[in-house]
Each structure stands twice: as C-alpha cells, then as structure tokens.
C-alpha cells in the first residue's frame, strides 16, 4: 500500500466506449502524474498537475482527457481509444519541487485493454 489508489485495476473497453480511470492520494502531495507503460517499454509521462493546474501535456492525443478537481484526485477520461492504447496506466503523486525523503509514490496501475 503506497497511499496512491487507482481504480479500476483492470479494464477492458471497446473502441467506441467511454470510460474513466481514477486516482486518489491522501498524502498531502501537491503534484500528480499520469503515465502510460506499453509492454516492455519505459514509462511515458502523459500529464502533470501541480496544485490542480496542468503543467505538462506530453503531446498526448485528445482521446485522453485528464481532470484534476482537487489536489487529492486525478482522473483520466478515455474515449474512442485504439487497440495500441492498451497498456498499464500509472498514477503518481509527489511533493514538488523536492519530493523529499520518500520520493514520488505510485499506484498499482490500471491494466487497460482496448478491443
């Protein structure tokens, strides 16, 4: 248990579906992140939020839409995805600019399969 909770853990969706991934942390962190990790590839940073404001969008397609209603919650809304979007989606939180002695905390991820 890292203090960062992601739901659901597994998701199968069709290409025409709309779904959302949820992440929450109650660690008092001010920064939250979404990452994508495809099979046997490094983590790709998708979005960064700092104090609820988006500070990084790493050229992510518009079919991925993040939402950060407060510093504790982060969503990733998905619509009209492609099979190549199947991956492990990881959420993280940290205290910026210096994460301190515990670094960033990661959730267990959502394993997404697009069919």
Partner 1 sequence: DAKTTQPPSMDCAEGRAANLPCNHSTISGNEYVYWYRQIHSQGPQYIIHGLKNNETNEMASLIITEDRKSSTLILPHATLRDTAVYYCIVQPNKLVFGAGTILRVKS
| Closer to partner 1 by Cβ: residue 9 or 18 | 9
| Closer to partner 1 by Cβ: residue 84 or 98 | 98
Min dist CB 99 to partner 1, Å, is 6
Signed CA dihedral, 59, 48, 54, 65: sign only: positive
Residues constituting the chain: 115
Min dist CB 7 to partner 1, Å, is 14
DSSP string of 24-75? Answer: EE-S--SEEEEEEE-TTS--EEEEEEETTEEEEE-S--TTEEEEEEETTEEE
Element (H, E) at 9: none
| Closer to partner 1 by Cβ: residue 15 or 113 | 113
| Closer to partner 1 by Cβ: residue 17 or 72 | 72
Contact positions toward partner 1, by CB under 8 A?
Answer: 2, 4, 33, 35, 42-43, 45, 48, 56, 88, 90, 92, 94, 96-99, 101-109, 111
């Amino acid at each position: 248990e890292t203090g960062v909770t992601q739901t659901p853990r597994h998701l199968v969706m069709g290409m025409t579906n709309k779904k959302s991934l949820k992440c929450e942390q109650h660690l008092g962190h001010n920064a939250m992140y979404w990452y994508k990790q495809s099979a046997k590839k490094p983590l790709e940073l998708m979005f960064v939020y700092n104090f609820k404001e988006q500070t990084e969008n790493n050229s992510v397609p518009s079919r991925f839409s993040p939402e950060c209603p407060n510093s504790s919650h982060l969503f990733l809304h998905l619509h009209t995805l492609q099979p190549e979007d199947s991956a492990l989606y990881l959420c993280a939180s940290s205290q910026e600019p210096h994460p301190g002695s515990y670094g960033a905390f990661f959730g267990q991820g959502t394993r997404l399969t697009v069919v």
